[in-house]
Amino acid sequence: MPIRRQLDAIANLGGADRVLDAGATLYRQGERCNAFFFVISGWITLTTLLENGNCQILDFVIPGALLGFPFLSGLPRRHSAMCVTPVRVVCYPEVRLDDAIVKNAELAIVLCRQAALDEWRAHDHLTNVGLRSARERIAHLLLELSIRLAGRPPRKGESFRIPLTQSHVGQAVGLTSVHVSRTLRSLREQGILRFVKQDLHILDPVALGRAAGFPDLAPDVATTLNDTRLMNFDALPKAC
């Protein structure tokens, strides 16, 4: 079981459970912080803040992920990790990367994989924002989140709890919340999806895929995600 292996790998690092309210931060941009975290429940955003007050959401972190490992230890964080919902994590404070890796090759493998996955999502996100239209960006994001939550492409009529505001969506894909609202309306009117009160209903997965700009790529992406242990934590045995 993938996530079991992650936990085994870090078992001897002595983590402690921690509960945070919505709006709290795990670490802040500019801060030196050598802790890292395993997310048990709740949603977290990784955000960078600009001087002008604008804010970019780099990624959404969902349960089952490792978060914030200080590969570049001692250096200030480049982004903040903020809780969107109440969050439960295992916190591993003051880890020394070099020691931990030398002592534990299994951990090194898990970390490399996690880093590669994170980078892959960052790249995906970048192409999304860089060369797609508003409609495509939003469809793409919602489809990606569905796939990450389900571990496979969504089926017709399925629905997911996505605790984000339209403003979050906008900050993630580089649009104003106003335009997100308009675009969601258009998608709703075309019978592709409904996103009300943080519940996303997938009415037409195929049309959604087409709107998102992956034509038949979705199954492949799902395989990737599944293969590399970014699954929904709730779907796991209670062993952890």
Partner DNA sequence: CGTACAATTGAAGGACATCAAAAGCGGTGG
Partner DNA sequence: CCACCGCTTTTGATGTCCTTCAATTGTACG
Catalog residues that contact DNA under the rule CB under 7 A: 133-135, 165-167, 174-179, 181-182, 184-185, 196-197
From candidates 138, 213, 218, 230, binder to its own copies by CB under 8 A: 213
Angle at 147 between CA 41 and CA 65, to 5 degrees: 35
6 versus 166: smaller Cβ distance to DNA: 166
**What is the distance in angstroms between the CA of the first residue and the CA of the last residue of the chain?**
11
Give the H or E element holding residue 112. helix 105-131
3-state secondary structure of 58: strand
Angle at 140 between CA 62 and CA 83, to 5 degrees: 25
Give the footprint of its own copies on residues 214-233 (CB under 8 A): 215, 220, 224, 227-228
Surface-to-core class of residue 183, CB atoms within 10 Å of its CB (0-12 exposed, 13-18 middle, 19+ buried): buried
Angle formed by the axes of helices 177-189 and 134-150, nearest 10°: 80
From candidates 9, 20, 111, 187, binder to its own copies by CB under 8 A: 111
137 versus 148: smaller Cβ distance to DNA: 137
Q: Which stretch binds its own copies (CB under 8 A): 7-15, 20-28, 82-90, 109-117?
A: 109-117
97 versus 160: smaller Cβ distance to its own copies: 97
Please choose which of DNA, its own copies, none residue 118 contacts, taking the beta carbon within 5 to 8 angstroms, the exact cut-off set by kind: its own copies
Please choose which of its own copies, DNA, none residue 111 contacts, taking the beta carbon within 5 to 8 angstroms, the exact cut-off set by kind: its own copies
- CB-based contact 107:36 (threshold 8 Å): no
The Cα diameter of the chain in Å comes to 56
Please choose which of DNA, its own copies, none residue 108 contacts, taking the beta carbon within 5 to 8 angstroms, the exact cut-off set by kind: its own copies
56 versus 226: smaller Cβ distance to DNA: 56
Interaction of residue 127 with its own copies, rule CB under 8 A: yes
Site string for its own copies, 129-148 (x = CB under 8 A): xxxx----------------
Read off the tokens for 11: 């078992």
Interaction of residue 71 with its own copies, rule CB under 8 A: yes
160 versus 211: smaller Cβ distance to its own copies: 211
Interaction of residue 51 with its own copies, rule CB under 8 A: yes
The whole-angstrom separation of Cα 131 and Cα 201 is: 26
Place of tokens 């490992």: 69
Count residues binding its own copies (CB under 8 A): 49
Q: What phi and psi values does residue 85 have, to the nearest 5 degrees?
A: -120, 175
